[in-house]
Amino acid sequence: MAALKEKLAEQIPALRNDIKALVTEHGTKVISEVTVTQAFGGMRGVKALICDTSLVEPDRGLIIRGMPIADLTDRLPEEIFYLLCTGELPDKAALADLQKEFTRRSRVPKYVWDVLKAMPPDSHPMAMLGTAILVMQKESAFKKQYDAGMKKTEYWVPALEDSLDLLARLPAVGAGIYRIRFKKGDLIGPDKKLDWGANYAHMLGVDDPKGEFANLMRLYLVLHSDHEGGNVSAHVCHTVASALSDVYYAVSAGLNGLAGPLHGLANQECLKFVLAINDKYNGVPSAEQLTEFCWSTLNSGQVIPGYGHAVLRVTDPRFTAFHAFGKRVCGDDPVFQIVARMFEVVPDILKEQGKAKDPYPNVDAGSGALLYHFGVTEFDYYTVLFGISRALGMCSQMIVNRALGAPIERPKSVGTTWVKEQVGAV
Ligand code: NMX
Ligand code: MLT
């Protein structure tokens, strides 16, 4: 049995007993309430979802299984996946075993390339990613075993199988989408000696004489891996999976949410914004010019992409990690310098405007400038990178939820009239 599966098999009985005891002993206790503002306001802050893979603290940001993301930036994405699933970093043998699993499962079926090549040439890369995943649904081990008859306690096993298959193929699928969609030439095959992130970098075909692009890809894939359970993509994925839809259906659904400009697409919007500034001022603007640009954006009713967050109330530590990477690798690049100048001026502007509850940069504020520096200038592509990383989180959440027997999601909705009656507003 592979190391990750063995570790999960060892942990799951105790986890199940723990939750059973918690619900039996404390099931009627109240952990959150819902106000009218929250019900009409996107359920912000309502604590009604369980996610044990990671937590987002408003004043600290992402914490994966008790470890702040800032302490994990030198790790490989594969290690993060193991950590998300089990709560422990893998030892050398377990990591090598997981990497072997990914290599063994990495061949992308030819029909995926046929479908991608048949899509309209101006398809958005996120539509291509979702399609590529959905078209592989017929491979699902979960679907096959469910149809054959499977006990609920076994659900996590084919969910893990499907997750490993999907994650193993995603770097090749993502790189293939880049090369097909932006006419970069033939597909580049995997190099079996490389780790998950470096292999993705290799298959994209980006010139990387110093290996820094591979480093950026590893960092990128670590930083975007998970962000607890309430963000749009994780929540959608969980809801779809709760109907016992398999990993392929659930992850592609989650990615459709990630493709929205208020969520993962903000990284492409952000670079668009930075390049518009670069064009307008013919390079890095002064603080005054940038302030003027931001105010005209806000006054025309648009958001400043890459700033604000539904949960965070401090600079996103994932932005801090990208910023540090940029300072080290491309501090003199004007596009990076615009991102750095925005970090100096935008929080004060948003504070003065007084609308955004979080005036600080989020993960999307700086990642595009780094990709741009390495020649990945097609910013429509950026959310695919986010999505491939976030598949680590979506899959690990699903494996854990299957293990714990999470039920079908079905909260109660009410109408506006009911709310009015409830609060005495009629
Ligand atoms: N620029 C301008 N206005 C903003 C911004 C911003 N960056 N962020 C929030 N606001 C506005 C927001 O539109 C809302 O206005 P209104 O009352 O007119 O509807 C008001 O401030 C209050 O919003 P918040 O409660 O602070 O934010 P909320 O939790 O609703 O939304 C985001 C969070 C992330 C959707 C929001 O901050 C935003 O639109 N940011 C820009 C897009 C972005 O960077 N998204 C990426 C998020 C990270 N990710 O990868 O998913
Ligand atoms: C994420 O990484 O999913 C974003 O920061 C959005 C969120 O957490 O709501």
**Is residue 346 a contact partner of residue 246, using CB atoms and an 8 Å limit?**
no
From the CA of 359, which ligand is nearest? Answer: 1
Cβ proximity of 72 and 53 under 8 Å: no
pLDDT tens for the chain, 426 residues: list them: 689 999 999 999 999 999 999 999 999 999 999 999 999 999 999 999 999 999 999 999 999 999 999 999 999 999 999 999 999 999 999 999 999 999 999 999 999 999 999 999 999 999 999 999 999 999 999 999 999 999 999 999 999 999 999 999 999 999 999 999 999 999 999 999 999 999 999 999 999 999 999 999 999 999 999 999 999 999 999 999 999 999 999 999 999 999 999 999 999 999 999 999 999 999 999 999 999 999 999 999 999 999 999 999 999 999 999 999 999 999 999 999 999 999 999 999 999 999 999 999 999 999 999 999 999 999 999 999 999 999 999 999 999 999 999 999 999 999 999 999 999 999
Please state, as a whole number, how many other Cβ atoms lie within 10 Å of the Cβ of residue 188. 17
Residue in 278, 224, 275 with CA at minimum distance from that of residue 391: 224
Cα(224) to ligand 2 centroid in Å equals: 9
How many Cβ atoms from other residues are within 10 Å of residue 152's Cβ? Answer: 9
CA distances from 214 to 74, 210, 293, 374 (A): 13, 9, 34, 10
**pTM of the entire predicted model:** 0.97
Check residue 13 and give its pLDDT.
Answer: 98
Query: What pLDDT score was predicted for residue 162?
Result: 98
And the tokens for 318? 């994932």
CA distance linking residue 47 with residue 37, whole number of Å:
15
Residue in 355, 358, 382, 394 to alter for ligand 1 test, most ligand atoms within 8 A of Cβ? 355
* CA–centroid distance, residue 231 to ligand 2 (Å): 5
The pLDDT score that the predictor gives to residue 1 is: 62
Q: For residues 145 and 227, what is the distance between their CA atoms, to the nearest angstrom?
A: 30
For residue 337, which of 386, 302, 290 has the smallest C-alpha distance? 290
Residue of minimum CA distance from atom 45 in ligand 1:
262
Contact criterion met (CB below 8 Å) for 17 and 96:
no
Lining ligand 1 with CB less than 6 A are 44, 262-264, 266, 298, 303-310, 355-358, 362-364
Cα(150)–Cα(250) distance, integer angstroms:
19
103 vs 199: CA distance, rounded Å? 10
pLDDT of residue 324: 98
The alpha carbon of 12 is separated from its chain's Cα centroid by a whole number of angstroms, namely 25
Q: What's the 227 CA to ligand 2 centre distance in angstroms?
A: 6
* Model pLDDT, residue 134: 98
Q: What Å distances lie between residue 176 and 146, 218, 225, 260, 394, CA to CA?
A: 31, 18, 21, 22, 22
SS3 state of residue 307: strand
| Ligand with the closest atom to the CA of 355 | 1
CA 209, CA 215: separation in Å to the nearest integer? 12
Report the C-alpha gap between 177 and 17 in whole angstroms. Answer: 44
Lining ligand 2 with CB less than 6 A are 56, 227, 231, 263, 309-311, 362-363
In the three-class reduction of DSSP (H, G, I as helix; E, B as strand; rest coil), residue 76 is classed as: coil
State the Cα–Cα distance between residues 89 and 377, nearest whole angstrom.
Answer: 34
The two structure tokens encoding residue 358: 């979080």
Which one, of 109, 218, 124, lies nearest residue 165 by Cα?
Answer: 109
Q: Is 60 exposed, middle or buried (0-12, 13-18, 19+ CB in 10 A)?
A: middle
Ligand nearest to the CA of 301: 1
Q: Is the dihedral of CA 292, 294, 297, 299 positive or negative?
A: negative
User: Hunting for tokens 């006054």 — which residue is that?
Assistant: 299
Of 275, 184, 195, 233, the C-alpha closest to 395 is: 233
Cα separation, 372 vs 278, in Å, equals 13
Query: Is the CB of residue 215 less than 8 Å from the CB of residue 134?
Result: no
CA distance 78 to 4: 11
Q: What angle do CA 249, 121, 245 make, to 5 degrees?
A: 5
